[in-house]
Chains A and B, each alone.
Chain A
Amino acid sequence: MENNQKTIVIAALVENKPGVLHSVANMFRRRNFNIESITVGHTEQKGVARMTITVSGDEKTLEQVVKQMNKLIDVIKVGRLEPENIVSRELALIKVNAPDAKTRTDIINCVEVFRGHIIDVSPETLIIEITGTSDKIEAFLNLMKPYGIIEIARTGVTALARGLHSIRIEE
């Protein structure tokens, strides 16, 4: 079982109204599916929100996830995005200890390599904004660990399929 596990991204267009997030989250919990991350936001279409859900499991489970999502009445459209065919990004804000000039310089060098930004400086700390795939963020966090990470806020993955393939409601 363990070897057949894979991670995919599900993009779902849903009615933008109260309770929809609850019914989606509830279905995942009740059916023992595992949400690794979820992001929700407005779309270019009025009244429609887009959920981007990262989920892992074996093929049978992933197929069920998509089918059960489709069954929810307020879920309008569900797309399954395979990792090889998408661009995905996550944003993280990281607050690290930087009590002296030497540490600050070291950290700023790392941030430049990772094409992040310093968005706040205090005498004791720096806040770094970094965007990229989840792997890139993990790698950056590993680099920051020795300095002492005080706080992390991550958005979770959001993604689009490459090329013309798209998840949208045809008018």
Chain B
Amino acid sequence: MSATKMTGAKALLEALERQGVKHIFGILGGAILPVYDELCRHPKLRHILSRHEQCAAHAADGYARASGRPGVCFATSGPGATNLVTGIANAHMDSSPVIAITGQVPTNGSNSSYMIGRDAFQEADIIGITTPITKYNHQVRSAAEIPWAVNAAFYIATTGRPGPVLIDVPKNVQTDVAEVSFDGKIDLRGYRVAGPPHPLQIRKAVELLVEAERPIILAGGGVITANASDELLTVAELLLAPVATTFMGKGSFPEIHPLSLGNIGMHGNPLANKMLLEADVLLAVGTRFADRATGNLDSFCPEAKKIHIDIDAAEIGKNIEVDVPIVADAKQALSAIYERLIKQVKKKTDSPWLQRINEARKLLNPPEKAEDGKLKPKRLLQTLRKLLPESTIVTTEVGQNQMWAALYFKALKPRTFISSGGLGTMGFGFPAAIGAKTACPDRHVVDIAGDGSFIMTEQELACSVVEDIPVTVIVLNNGVLGMVAQWQRLFYKKRYMAVKLGRSPDFVKLAEAYGAQGFRVESIAEFEKAVKQALKSTVTTVIDVPINSEEDVEPMVPPGCGLGQQIGDY
């Protein structure tokens, strides 16, 4: 094992380079200055200056989700670190591999420079604060320990069920010189990644699937994480089993495929919600059966025997009881199921179940109503799909914009629909789009936003313009915090409180103030024109689309109800 003398700061950056890192999102500050000073000597690492640390974390998250490679963000101690918290919690809820590195006040040295635990300037206990929202966190205490800490962080963040890892680096550790070695073993005896699926469980799963008359596959975010979309497709086509997706699973199965049912859930596709009630075998892959997906658990998929594949053993049996638990990587498990199935079933081209689904599909998708010329979210998003190339990465904010996008914007490929599912973080979509564009500079990236969400992180226009990371933001501008306004309308007898934003700011002027371009559109034709211009643009574009402030997201399963009790039209 070769060791070289260097500072902790250099060890940190070298360790990151050795992990293949090329981009870092961050904001500096006093306690991380030695690392930034060292960054001058690492031209291969591109630093992107976010305008708020929350956005650095979201950008790293978007980068990770778009590319499958971990995203890295830096922040200084105290407020820098605490500003990361929302971004880290968001990555944690959606199992995204984000590596957060924070500066910290010095741990030791002469009595006068010993600061940690003494409420020093810009000191925050970021390890204590992020313990419940990281997969792992660690404060390094010596420069020599840094390569191990970085390697362990990447290993933990990217294996098993991915998740964010935070490394806290006290300032004196950054400047200390030590003998540093990069090829040490990562010894984590308490961390075990699930191995291949158990053959007995695979056999039991296949037995159920072979006998099934009305099978449904439910694909979650785990399918995307495991890059298991191809395996999902082959199993679905072999069984002629329709595929529903959870919100996080959107994109795991092409939504224009004849077997696609769309999303399940509170604002799911009625076809998916309805068909789940009739299924006799459910094959759930990489999903945690979140409450927004299942609705009332007592009436969730009541008829079906349930097979649950998840890499996280703790997810099995957490929310619903299952008949066949399979703790494994989705790709390995689906391959194993396919290998066994192919010996037992013949590929079919039709079945009574498929006919039943196609019938229901016709009933639930009534022909379009006559156009009234107004800008309706459904029409806008269907138009947008036609305008965007298949490879375009779409991010969303949170609220009505997100649910309309989930309902009406068809995702065709994995990692092309990126949204804050678990935490529901307004303001996520725009910085995530910047992260996605950084990871995939040759592809278009579009943030489907609402006015309320966009205002939360709009300052990243500065980052996007100055750092030359052009993306498109489509603001579905209804002048209200639309989703909560909808709840007040439906469940609080229209007592509107604190939801009205007014038509402010002027998003065209706002974009221009930052050096981006802005368009306001009043018709579908203008919308089409603006999107086409945005796709050709080399600068970030904001498209302001005024819509009716009382537009509801329908259909909807009211809170506490089962998926069968959906109200409103698709």
Contacts and interface: CB of A to CB of B under 8 A. Distances in A.
B131 interface: yes
B87 to A, nearest CB: 19
Interface string A12-30: 0011000100110011001
B274 to A, nearest CB: 29
B190 A67 contact: no
Contacts of B127: 19
Contact of A67 (B131, B135, B314): B314
Contacts of A102: none
A71 B193 CA distance: 10
A76 interface: yes
Given A23-B131, A26-B132, A27-B132, A76 B314 contact: no
A145 B188 CA distance: 49
Given A19-B127, A63-B317, A71-B312, A30 B132 contact: yes
B156 interface: yes
B367 interface: no
A129 interface: no
Given A63-B317, A67-B314, A68-B314, A73 B135 contact: yes
Contacts of B318: 64, 67
**Main secondary structure on A side of the interface with B:** helix
B134 to A, nearest CB: 10
B190 A19 contact: no
A10 to B, nearest CB: 15
Nearest to A14: B190
Interface residues of B, number: 17
Interface string A127-142: 0000000000000000
Contacts of A14: 190
A70 B132 CA distance: 15
A50 to B, nearest CB: 13
A75 interface: yes
Contact of B131 (A22, A71, A75, A169): A22
B188 A73 contact: yes
Interface in B315-329: 317-318
B156 A73 contact: yes
A90 interface: no
Interface in A58-103: 60, 63-64, 67-68, 70-77
- In the complex, which of the residues B131, B135, B313 has the most CB atoms of chain A within 10 Å of its own CB atom? B131
Given A63-B317, A68-B314, A73 B131 contact: no
Interface string B455-473: 0000000000000000000
B136 A73 contact: yes
B189 interface: yes
A120 B345 CA distance: 79
B313 A73 contact: no
A76 B131 contact: no
B109 interface: no
B139 to A, nearest CB: 8
A16 to B, nearest CB: 12
A77 B318 CA distance: 21
Interface string B118-160: 0000000001100110011001000000000000000010000
Contact of B314 (A19, A70, A75): A70
Nearest to B317: A63
Of the four ranges (under 10, 10 to 19, 20 to 34, 35 or more), the interface on chain A belongs to 20 to 34
A162 B53 CA distance: 53
A71 B135 CA distance: 9
B189 A76 contact: yes
B488 to A, nearest CB: 29
Contacts of A74: 190
Given A22-B131, A27-B132, A30-B132, A76 B190 contact: yes
Nearest to A77: B190
Nearest to B160: A71
Contacts of B190: 14-15, 72-77
Contacts of B139: 19
Contacts of B189: 76, 169
B166 to A, nearest CB: 12
A67 B313 contact: yes
A77 B191 CA distance: 10
- In the complex, which of the residues A22, A26, A63, A67 has the most CB atoms of chain B within 10 Å of its own CB atom? A67
Nearest to A60: B317
B281 to A, nearest CB: 23
Nearest to B156: A73
Contacts of A72: 190
A70 B190 CA distance: 8
A26 to B, nearest CB: 5
Contacts of A19: 127, 131, 139
Contacts of A71: 312, 314
Contacts of A75: 190
A52 to B, nearest CB: 17
Interface string B362-391: 000000000000000000000000000000
A67 B313 CA distance: 7
A63 B325 CA distance: 14
Contacts of B132: 26-27, 30
- In the complex, which of the residues B128, B189, B312 has the most CB atoms of chain A within 10 Å of its own CB atom? B189
Contacts of B131: 19, 22-23, 26
Interface in B183-212: 188-191
A64 B288 CA distance: 14
Contacts of B136: 73
Nearest to A27: B132
Interface of B: 127-128, 131-132, 135-136, 139, 156, 188-191, 312-314, 317-318
CB-based closest 3 A-B pairs: A67-B314, A76-B190, A73-B136
29 contacts: A15-B190, A19-B127, A19-B131, A19-B139, A23-B131, A26-B131, A26-B132, A27-B132, A30-B132, A60-B317, A63-B317, A64-B314, A64-B317, A64-B318, A68-B314, A70-B313, A71-B312, A72-B190, A73-B136, A73-B156, A73-B188, A73-B190, A73-B191, A74-B190, A75-B190, A76-B189, A76-B190, A77-B190, A169-B189
Given A30-B132, A72-B190, 13 more contacts: A14-B190, A19-B127, A19-B139, A26-B131, A26-B132, A64-B314, A64-B317, A64-B318, A67-B314, A71-B312, A73-B156, A74-B190, A75-B190
Interface of A: 14-15, 19, 22-23, 26-27, 30, 60, 63-64, 67-68, 70-77, 169
